[in-house]
């Protein structure tokens, strides 16, 4: 059963993370004080009292927000799922809830349920709808974990927060918004195992096909979420994902323009996917509901690349790590086809794939699938296998040209310790 409900996720490989909440208003600066990283943590980092921070809600009016635009941007980038912060650690709810007035509909002039609008747009554009929910940390609730500047930890009782807000809100989110494909939990720790188990049961009961990540805590999770912005060195077994920032913040930060360029994004995408993981790339919309141009432009470029080369991403699986250290070529693999992502086109257009043992039947560029490329296979004096491919003179795609090799079975390499 587990494998069935994971199927779309394994096929998807690439998703959009959206960190959006009241923190988009200060956007990294509070009364002139710069909070250089993690703009969504500003309340905690500067120990802003609830009574002050919650006033942001009165100003939150993202009139430019258009759920279709968000979803279309993701879709055009080649992403297959979107996860939006329904409630981050600051406790503010981007959805209508009966269990806290501190929500987008009841506490802001905007008055529209952002989570509902994203859910609907996802359905319309056929992309999987996923929800981020901070289940343990909630700096607004007197009994949750995390806020020791307003509330005395010794007087806190997690059970109260759990019964009053956390549990019923997870119920709302899994009841009022149609099919939820992933519920993305974060920052485990600080609460008893009982609560994690109770949430696991709740999710299974309300939406048996909804999957959740390992940050729910205590070793549970349908798949593993790696540390933020980290890629394993080698191929990693099992279902896993890496969440990544496009700049250096999750939430919108007015001072952070340190965007990764499209080349870096494609490098990360192929690196992660080639090792068997999913790439969840983040945007932080601003307080007016606009997606910063910097990030939108990058996603559009990645999308152009995906339109030509997406078949080297979707539905691929991890493969044994290629034994030669190369950063200029990344490998992905799907059912008998090995894709080589060539980031640095050789001046003399010949490419050797050392140590690949499989019999190759055909070689072509994804950008030009009708033209077969000539190739030969052999072994060197030391017995090492190689495939030699005669490349076109020029790269076939911007950023990374993808050369497909039809091979027999999973890639196998020489044992290079001969
Ligand atoms: C968490 C959040 O605190 C942060 O604001 C953001 O939402 C991010 C996606 O997740 O931060 C973490 C959580 C776990 C790790 C690092 C940052 N980790 O395991 O390395």
23-44: pLDDT as tens digits: 999 999 999 999 878 999 999 9
Name the residue at shortest CA distance from atom 19 of ligand 1.
Answer: 227
Regions in the chain scoring below 70 on pLDDT: 1-3, 418
- To test the pocket of ligand 1, the residue of 187, 230, 245 to mutate (highest count of ligand atoms within 8 Å of its CB) is 187
pLDDT score at 416: 81
Q: Which of 165, 160, 169, 163 minimizes the C-alpha distance to 203? A: 169
- CB neighbour list of residue 47: distance below 8 Å, 6 or more residues apart: 149
User: What stretch of H or E contains 302?
Assistant: helix 293-309
Please state, in angstroms and rounded to a whole number, the distance separating the CA atoms of residues 294 and 261: 9
User: Tell me, what's the pLDDT at 1?
Assistant: 47
Report how far residue 365's alpha carbon sits from residue 411's, in angstroms, rounded to the nearest whole number: 19
Helix axes 293-309, 67-76, angle to 10 degrees: 40
CB 383 within 8 A of CB 418: yes
End-to-end Cα separation, the chain, in angstroms: 43
Please give the number of the atom of ligand 1 that sits closest to the Cα of 251.
5
pLDDT at 3: 59
Rounded to the nearest whole angstrom, what is the distance from the C-alpha of residue 3 to the centroid of ligand 1?
26
> Ligand 1 pocket: which of 215, 250, 251 to mutate (most atoms <8 Å of CB)?
250
Q: What is the pLDDT of residue 37?
A: 80
Say if CB 251 and CB 224 are below 8 A apart. no
**What distance in Å separates the CA atoms of residue 286 and residue 295, rounded to the nearest whole number?**
12
Maximum Cα–Cα distance for the chain, whole Å?
75
Structure tokens at 87: 């409630």
**279, two tokens:** 């790439």
- The residue whose CA is least distant from atom 5 of ligand 1 is 40
CA-based nearest residue to 107, from 117, 120, 92: 92
H helices present in 146-208, as ranges: 158-161, 167-173, 193-206
Q: How far apart are CA 71 and CA 96, in angstroms?
A: 20
| Residue owning the nearest CA to atom 10 of ligand 1 | 186
The rounded Å distance from CA 127 to ligand 1 centre is 24
User: CA–CA separation, 20 vs 92, rounded Å?
Assistant: 10
């Amino acid at each position: 059963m587990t494998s069935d409900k994971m199927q779309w996720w394994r096929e998807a490989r690439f998703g959009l993370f959206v960190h959006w909440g009241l923190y988009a208003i200060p956007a990294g600066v509070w009364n002139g004080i710069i909070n250089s990283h993690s703009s969504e943590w500003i309340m905690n980092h500067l120990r802003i009292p609830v009574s002050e921070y919650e006033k942001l809600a009165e100003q939150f009016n993202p009139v430019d927000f258009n759920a279709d635009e968000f979803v279309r941007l993701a879709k055009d980038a080649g992403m297959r799922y979107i996860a939006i912060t329904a409630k981050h650690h600051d406790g503010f709810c981007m959805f209508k809830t009966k269990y806290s007035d501190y929500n987008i509909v009841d506490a802001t002039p905007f008055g529209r349920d952002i989570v509902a609008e994203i859910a609907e747009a996802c359905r319309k554009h056929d992309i999987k709808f996923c929800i981020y929910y901070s289940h343990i940390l909630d700096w607004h609730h007197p009994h949750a974990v995390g806020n020791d500047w307003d509330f005395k930890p010794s007087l806190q009782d997690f059970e109260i927060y759990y019964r009053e807000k956390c549990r019923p809100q997870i119920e709302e989110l899994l009841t009022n918004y149609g099919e939820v494909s992933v519920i993305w939990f974060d920052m485990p720790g600080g609460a008893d195992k009982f609560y994690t188990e109770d949430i696991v049961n709740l999710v299974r009961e309300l939406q048996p096909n909804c999957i959740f990540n390992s940050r729910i805590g205590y070793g549970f999770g349908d798949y593993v979420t790696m540390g933020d912005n980290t890629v394993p060195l080698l191929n990693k077994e099992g279902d896993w994902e890496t969440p990544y920032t496009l700049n250096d913040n999750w939430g919108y930060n007015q001072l952070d323009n340190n965007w990764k360029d499209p080349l870096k994004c494609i490098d990360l995408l192929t690196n992660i996917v080639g090792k068997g993981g999913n790439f969840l790339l983040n945007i932080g919309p601003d307080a007016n509901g606009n997606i910063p141009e910097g990030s939108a432009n990058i996603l559009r470029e990645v999308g152009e690349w995906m339109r030509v080369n997406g078949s080297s991403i979707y539905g691929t699986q991890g493969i044994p790590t290629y034994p030669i250290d190369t950063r200029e070529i990344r490998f992905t693999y799907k059912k008998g086809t090995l894709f080589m992502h060539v980031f640095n086109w050789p001046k003399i257009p010949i490419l050797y794939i050392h140590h690949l043992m499989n019999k190759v039947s055909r070689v072509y560029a994804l950008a030009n699938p009708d033209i077969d490329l000539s190739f030969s296979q052999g072994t060197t004096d030391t017995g090492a296998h190689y495939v030699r491919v005669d490349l076109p003179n020029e790269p076939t795609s911007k950023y990374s040209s993808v050369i497909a090799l039809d091979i027999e079975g999973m890639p196998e390499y020489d044992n290079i310790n001969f």
